[in-house]
Amino acid sequence: MKLTEDEVFQILKLLEESSFEELNLEMGDLKLHVRKHGSLAVTGGDCITTVSTPIGVSPKTVAEVKQEVPQTGVQETPSIVTDVRERGAKEVAPISQEGLLPITAPMLGTLYRRPAPGSPPYVEVGTFVKENDTVCLLEVMKVFNSVKAGVRGYIVKICAESGDLVEYGQTLFLVKPADKPEEKD
């Protein structure tokens, strides 16, 4: 599930015009929490908006929201401060500038790049992946969880190796977006 920046602004506007103080929206993996006044109307305090995006949502969209927000009409009330935070915040910003998308760890765990010892890795640099392709496994206390690409394109960098402890939100792979594999002659 995705939200475009326009849709986020529409939601902010709807809340601003409504008599409600707070909005919690959950659609599949996406969770949006918007609050009008940080604590109370009387404080004129902060407005905390939290957007958590699902794995694989274009980080560019989120980054743009972050930049655009201060210029929108919703922001005309001067006392309101909006703080948009996204998953894997540390890694996302610089990478999006290069036009690459990260595949991030959906949980903390031990990374495995192969389905079984001796098998070939799920992906290598240059592999074309589709949204639902498994790119690696994460093991948490003997339970293996497959990590889906969530995006479509070419793996251009492998950022963690088998046996590494990876943190929640850590970048595992970088993907150069592409709709379909390039034709080879």
Partner 1 sequence: MNIERVLVANRGEIAVRIIKACRELGIGSVAAISEADRESLPAKMVDRAVCIGPPRPVDSYLKIDALICAALGTHCDAIHPGYGFLAEQPELAEACGKYGIIFIGPSPENLRQMGNKLLAREIVKDCGIPIIPGSEKVKDVKEAIKVAEEMKFPILLKAAAGGGGRGIKIVTNWEELKATFETAAAEARVAFGDETLYIEHYIPNARHIEVQIAADHFGNVIHVGERDCSLQRRYQKVIEEAPATSISSDLRESIRRAGVTVAKSMNYRNLGTVEFILDQDLSQFYFLEVNTRIQVEHPVTEMISGIDLVKEQIRIASSHPLSLSQSEVSLEGHSIECRINAELPEAGFQPCPGKIREWIPPQGEGIRVDSHCYPGYLVPPYYDSLIAKVITLGNDRSEAIERMRYALKSFIISGIHTTIPFLQFLLNKSDFIEGRVNTRWIEEVLSNNRYQSCRKDPTTGGSRYERDQFR
Separation in Å, CA 105 to CA 25, 67, 132, 169, 178: 23, 25, 15, 5, 21
Q: Which is nearer to partner 1, 48 or 155 (CB)?
A: 48
Specify burial of residue 92 (Cβ count, 10 A radius: 0-12, 13-18, 19+). buried
Max distance between CA atoms of the chain, in angstroms, equals 68
The verdict on 83 binding partner 1 (CB under 8 A) reads yes
81: contact with partner 1 by CB under 8 A: yes
Helix (H), strand (E) counts: the chain: 3, 11
Alpha-carbon gap, residue 1 to 173, rounded angstroms = 21
Q: Kindly state whether residue 82 participates in binding partner 1, applying the rule CB under 8 A.
A: no
Stretch that binds partner 1, among 4-12, 55-63, 105-113, 146-154 (CB under 8 A): 105-113
| Contacting partner 1 within 4-33 (CB under 8 A) | none
- Cβ atoms 85, 50 nearer than 8 A: yes
Specify the 3-state DSSP secondary structure of 70. helix
Residue 126, token pair as written in the block: 């240059």
* Comparison of 43 and 67: residue with beta carbon closer to partner 1: 43
Per-residue tokens: 157 = 């960098």
Task: Pick between residue 88 and residue 153 the one whose CB is nearest to partner 1.
Answer: 88
Residue from 108, 120, 125, 178 in contact with partner 1 (CB under 8 A): 108
CB of 52 to partner 1, least distance (A): 6
* Binding status of residue 167 toward partner 1 by CB under 8 A: yes
Beta carbon nearer to partner 1, 108 or 178: 108
> What is the contact surface with partner 1 in residues (CB under 8 A)?
35, 38-40, 42-43, 45-46, 48, 50, 52, 81, 83, 87, 89-90, 107-110, 139-141, 143, 165, 167-170
